[in-house]
Structure 1
Amino acid sequence: MTEVKPVSGFLNILKPPGMSSHDVVGYVRRVLHTKKVGHAGTLDPAAAGVLPVAVGTATRLIEYLEITDKTYRAEIKLGIATDSGDDTGKILTSQLDWSDFDMSTLEQVLQKFTGKIRQTPPAHSAIKINGQKACDLLRAGKDVEVPSREVTIYRLELLAHSHDMLLIDCDCSKGTYIRSLCQDIGEALGVPATMAFLLRRRVGDFTAEAALTLEELAEAGEQALLPADKYLSSMQRFDLNPKREKAFCNGLSSTVKNFTAQTESLRVYADGHFIGVGRYDKEREELLPVKVLGR
C-alpha cells in the first residue's frame, strides 16, 4: 500500500473583513481535512488582507514568519478618538472642526514617524501582560497599563487626504500597531484620530496580489499549498552534505569549516530538498539543527 504523505506547506490567504484569524484557521481545517493548522500575525476581525497560514509540519515554522516586515494600508479618521484605537470602539473624544492641513504640514508630521519610533500598543489588543492578553484583562474589568516599545517604520506614504481622512501606506517592523500609529499621527496634528480601516498588503514574502480568497482556496484545495522554504527567503541557504542528512534529522550537529553565517537562522537543504532550519556555531564550527522537518 502506498504511504500517503500528510499535507504540509504554507497558504497565502486573503482574510475578509468580519472574520477572525481563528475563523480562517477553522475554515482551512475543514477544506483540507486536517487539524494541524496555524496562522502567523493575527489580524483583527474588522481588518482585511494577507494572513499566512501554515499546515502540517510547516506549523513549526510560524515563528519565522511572525518576525518578518509587513506592509499596511490604513485609513485614518480625523475628529474622533476611541478606546480601542479603531472605529469599532467607544468614542472618547470628538472634535467637530479644525483648519484643513496643507500637504507640507502632513508630510512633515509623517516624517516624524519614519525610522525608529516608540509607540504604546492599544490596551484593546492581544499583547500579553504577565502572560495574559491585555484585551482579556480589560474585559475582566482590570486596569491595564501597556508598556511602550520601539518599532521601525521603514516607509510612510500619504496616498490621499481630505478634511477628515488620511490614507497611508506603511512598511514596518514586527510588533508595529497601526492603530497606535494612527492615533499618534492625529495627536501630532492636534486632532483626535482613529483607524477607520486596515488592509495588510504584505507579510514578508506573502503579498496581497498573490493571496487566495477563501472561495479560491475551497476550489484549489491541497493544490493551493506553497513550499515552506520559498517563504523563508530572509534566511541564508545552507546546502548540507547529503551524507549528514540522517544525522541532522536525528538532531545531531555536523562539522562545517570555513563558513560565514549571514543570518542567525539558516534554511538547510540536502540533495536540493529542504529539510529544516539550522544554526551555525562559529566557535565550534558546527551546524546545529533547530527545526527538523525531513523530506
Structure 2
Amino acid sequence: MKLLVLGGTAWLGHEVARQAVGRGHQVTCVTRGLSGPIPDGASHIQSDRDADHGLEAVSAVHWDAVLDVSRQPGHVKRAVRDLRSADYYVFVSSVSVYANHGPLGQDEDAPLLPPLESEVMETMETYGEAKAACEKAVLEGLGAERCMIARVGLIGGPGDIFGRTGYWPMRFANPSVEDGTVLVPNAPSLPVQVIDVRDLAAWLVQNCEGQLSGVYNATGEKHSFAEHIAAAREVAGHQGQLAVADAEWLHRHGVQEWAGPKSLPLWLSDPEWQGMNARSNMRAKGAGLVLRPLEETLRDTLEWEESTGIEKPRRAGLTKNEEAELIPELG
C-alpha cells in the first residue's frame, strides 16, 4: 500500500507512520519538519499546508490511502481538492465535534457543533467547530464510501507530551512529600476514557489496508476516576495515603481542571462536560478496534516519563512544590 500521512512527526502521526512501515507499506510523510524526525523507513516531503499549493509535490501521485490529522479547515479542503484521485481518505477528527458533552454513552449519531465558517481556526476555543468543518469537507468532497472519520477521544500512552495520562503514575511513583501522600480530587465516579496511541494507530493503519468507511468514536474503555487512580497507584507501587480534596477547595486554592499549569489532569467538576469521556465505542470495536488494558498503558507511560526525565516542563499537573504546599493546607 502507498500511504500518504499528512503529518508524521508529531505523536499520533508518527506512530501511524511507524506502524505502517513495520507492516511493509510504502509511507510518505508531508510535514513542515518542525516536530521532529519521521520514522525510519518512511519518506519525507517538507511542505507548508498553509500555502494554497502546499501539497503540489504529492498531488500527481496515486495514493492507496491518505491519513490526515489536521484541525485547520483550509488544510483539509485543499487536501481533498488536490488528492481527489486517492482511493481512500482517513480523517482523524475528535469527540470535541459533538454539541453536548453532558450525557453519558452517546454514540456517533449525537448532534454536532456547527462547522466553523472560517478556513483558519484562530484559537482552541473553536476546536470542535473546526474539526466539524474538516469532517464536512472530507465527506462532501470525497463521498462517504471513500473515507472514514475517526472521532478520537483522549489519547494516552508513551510519548504523551501533554502530560494528561503520564501525570498520575509519575506522581504516585514520585510523591512530592516525604510520607508519600498524593493529592487527588474527590471525584470517584467521574468517567475517564483513554485510548492508547499504539492501539489507535494500529486500528487506523488496519483501516487504511481494508478501506473501512464510516464514522466512528475511536475512544478507550470507560473507567471511573477511582479505577483510573487505582490503576496508576498499582503500576507505580504507591503505598502512601491519598489527600482527597473537594472541587470547591481545589478551585479556592487555584487548582485547574483537566490540564494546563497547576492542574489535576483528567479531573472535571462540571457535569455538563463529564460525558466527553464516556462516549460509546461499540461501533469502532465492532470494526476491529482492539484496546489493551489500562494498566499496560499507564505502566508503559510511566516508563516513558521516567526515561525522559520527571522534572521536565509539564503541560499538565502540579509541580512538586505546588503539591507539597497544598497537602498541608488540606489538613
> Which protein has the larger Cα radius of gyration, Structure 1 or Structure 2?
1
Same structural fold, with TM-score higher than 0.5 when normalized by the shorter chain: no
TM-score (norm: length of structure 1) = 0.25
